[in-house]
Amino acid sequence: MKKKPSVYVWMLLPAVILFFSFHTLPVLQGIFYSFTNFRGYGVWEFVGLDNYIRIFNDRNALNAYGFTFQFAIVSTILVNIISLVIALGLNAKIKFHKTLRGIYFMPNILSILIVGFIFNYIFSIFIPEIAENTGLTGLTTSILGSPDHAWIAIVIVAVWQAAAFNTILYLAGLATIPQDLYEASALDGASKWQEFWKITFPLIAPFFTINMVLAMKNFLMVFDHIVALTGGGPGRATQSISLLIYQDGFAGGQFAYQSANAVIYFVVIVTISVFQIRILQKREVQL
């Protein structure tokens, strides 16, 4: 038999070449440049691990990691609680089931950037004005201007948008639970609360895992929300890791340095995702 490249090879080859050139190659380049002092243009030389060492002493970088983690953890927890509650509601015997589901999913189809601009107005103009008229002195200045509290505004917008998606996933999970389990537990006299913890929650555990991992991963990459709301400010109070890499990597002449930051960022995201999956799946099995 002659050995001729299978037709499958021709189906794959162009895609593989393109994927390697436009995805893998840039990743490798990024890793390569992280060991140099390349500014994005001009001459460069190898600097070994200098960039990596510098990041651990860089206040801006540490601040970005601190902010991003704080934001991501709080948002992940809130999104999961809220979307689980909405999903339980939508799964109950309610009227206008389809319309309500449609409305609750709507934020997911809208551009985060534009939604962010709208909320920007609400936070910076609408709420302060309402506060002034009603005498709530604590809220008369925009929350976006406060280095200590601007992150809360970003959490609100992020949760507003992301809850839609997580709700739909939880709904899909709830649909997999056989109804007779509830009938049996009702006969045994289980309370609603017991029913939730003993039946509903264990059975949607895989969906809880997916939601926690996806939400965390997405929130760690937060970018659009921040551009629309604060631009990273005041100062650098709400500068996320992606935003830092974008801002200083392109405009700040820190191409190589921010590449090193991106490599660390990559390792962090993979580590957290794997860790989460391990922990959460262990829980799934036990229950």
Partner 1 sequence: MKIGKTNWPVTLLLIAGTILILFPLYITVVNAFKTPAETAESILALPVEWTFNNFTTAIEMTNFFNAFGNSFYITIVTVVFTVLTNSLVAYAIARNMHKKAYKFLFYYLVSAMFVPFPIIMLPIVNQMSSIGLMNQNGLILLYIVYGLSFNVFLYVGYIKTIPKELEEAAIVDGCTRWGVFWRIIFPMLSPINATVGILTALWAWNDFLLPLVILSDRGDHTLPLVQYVFQSQFATNYNLAFSSYLMALLPMLVLYLFLQKWIISGVTQGAIKS
Q: Tell me whether residue 88 or residue 148 sits nearer to partner 1 (CB atom).
A: 88
Q: Tell me whether residue 73 or residue 270 sits nearer to partner 1 (CB atom).
A: 270
Q: Tell me whether residue 124 or residue 141 sits nearer to partner 1 (CB atom).
A: 124
Distances from the Cα of 133 to the Cα of 127, 129, 143, 193, 276, angstroms: 10, 6, 17, 42, 46
277 half-sphere exposure, CB direction, 13 A CA radius: 8
Least distance CB 99 / partner 1 (angstroms):
9
Burial of 166 (0-12, 13-18, 19+ CB in 10 A): buried
Least distance CB 280 / partner 1 (angstroms):
15
Q: How far apart are CA 204 and CA 80, in angstroms?
A: 12
Least distance CB 77 / partner 1 (angstroms):
18
∠ Cα 225 227 230 (to 5°): 90
Least distance CB 168 / partner 1 (angstroms):
5
Terminal Cα distance for the chain, rounded: 55
Least distance CB 70 / partner 1 (angstroms):
18
Q: Tell me whether residue 129 or residue 284 sits nearer to partner 1 (CB atom).
A: 129
Q: Tell me whether residue 141 or residue 273 sits nearer to partner 1 (CB atom).
A: 273
Q: How far apart are CA 153 and CA 29, in angstroms?
A: 36
Q: What is the signed CA dihedral for 160, 162, 168, 173, rounded to 10 degrees?
A: -120
User: 44 in helix, strand or coil?
Assistant: coil
Q: Tell me whether residue 151 or residue 258 sits nearer to partner 1 (CB atom).
A: 258
Question: By C-alpha distance, which of 168, 261, 161 is closest to 218?
Answer: 161
Least distance CB 56 / partner 1 (angstroms):
18
DSSP state of 4: -
